[in-house]
Amino acid sequence: MTEFLIKPSLNNKKVYKIKKSINENGKVENIPVIEEKPLTLYLNNQEIVTMMTIGDYPEYLALGYLYNQGMLHAYSEVTKIEYHNDLNVVVVRTKNKTNYEKKLKKKVNTSGCAQGTVFGDLYSEIEKIKLNKKISISHQQLISLSKKINMEPSLYLKVGAIHGCVLCEVDKPLYYFEDVGRHNAVDKIAGLILQKNINTDNLVFYTTGRLTSEMVIKCIKMQIPILLSRSGFTAWAIEIAKKKNLTMIGRMKGKRLNILSGEFRFTNE
C-alpha cells in the first residue's frame, strides 16, 4: 500500500492566515498562523456540539465524533451527511431516531485540549473489545515510522499550534490528519475508518499529543492494537491500556522510547 494516502493540508490556504508579528530584534515579520473555526454538529435535528477546528475533512470529523461518543455505531446507519460551509454546520442524518438525550446525561469531562469529552458508557463498550495479539512491531520499524512522520511536511512544522494523528500499517504511514485539538484529529481518523470500513486489526495509531485516558479509549474503540506517541502519558491511560492489552509506547525520540503496556507486541530488532 502507498504511503500517505492523505497528507496534511499544506496547500489549503483556508487553514492558516499570514499575520504580522514583531520578532526578538523588534522587526516586523509576516508569519503563518493557524485558522481556528467553529463547526456545529447536528445529529438529525438535534444540535450536539460546536467544535473548534481548522475546517478540513468536516464529514470525517462529524462521523468520528459521533462514533467515539457512542452515538453512531456503523456507517450503514447514516443516510446523508450535509456540510454547509457558509454556516459552519455539518448535519449527519440517520435512518432511525437516536438516543442522544441519554448519552448527553452521561457525559464525562476529559483532559483533552479545547473540547474533549467521552460518555460514561464508553467504558462498558470497550470491555467487549479484544485487540489482535498477533501483530508485532520492531524497534527498527518504530524508528523508521517516526522518522517518516516527523520529516513529512506538515502544518505543525509550518505553522505550529496543532496536533497530528496518523493511521499506519506497521512502519508505513497511511492517513495523516491534523487539527487544533488532538481529539479532532483522532475523530477524523475514526470517521475515515467508519466510512471506508477499514479493518484495523493490523494497524498502528501514532499521535503527536500526550497519551491520556481519552486517547487510549478511542484507540481501543477503533480496535487498533498499537498506540504510539512522541509525547508523554497519564497513569490512568496506562491502567486502561494494560487492562485491554493495548500496546502503548510513548516518549518516542530518535532511538529512545518507553513501553507502558502490551510489550509482547514489541521486538528489539
> CA-CA distance, 171 to 173, in Å (whole number)?
6
What single string gives the DSSP state of each residue in 83-129?
EETTTTEEEEEESS---HHHHHHTEEE---SSS-EEETTHHHHHHT-
Relative orientation angle of helices 235-243 and 213-221, to the nearest 10 degrees: 30
Which triple of cell numbers denotes residue 262? 502490551
Instruction: Identify the pLDDT of residue 168.
Output: 98
The predicted pLDDT at position 196 comes to: 97
CA pair distance 252, 119, nearest whole angstrom: 30
pLDDT of residue 229: 96
Residues in the chain predicted with pLDDT less than 70, given as ranges, are 1, 99-123
Place of cell 498562523: 33
The whole model's pTM is what?
A: 0.89
Q: What is the pLDDT of residue 109?
A: 47
pLDDT in the model for residue 107: 54
The grid coordinates listed for 47 are 444540535
Domains located in the chain, CATH noted: 37-121 (3.10.20.10), 137-267 (3.40.140.10)
Percent helix, strand, coil in the chain (nearest 5)?
A: 30, 35, 35
Q: How many CB atoms lie within 10 A of CB 251?
A: 15
Structure confidence at residue 235 (pLDDT): 97
Q: What integer pLDDT is reported at residue 106 of this predicted model? A: 53
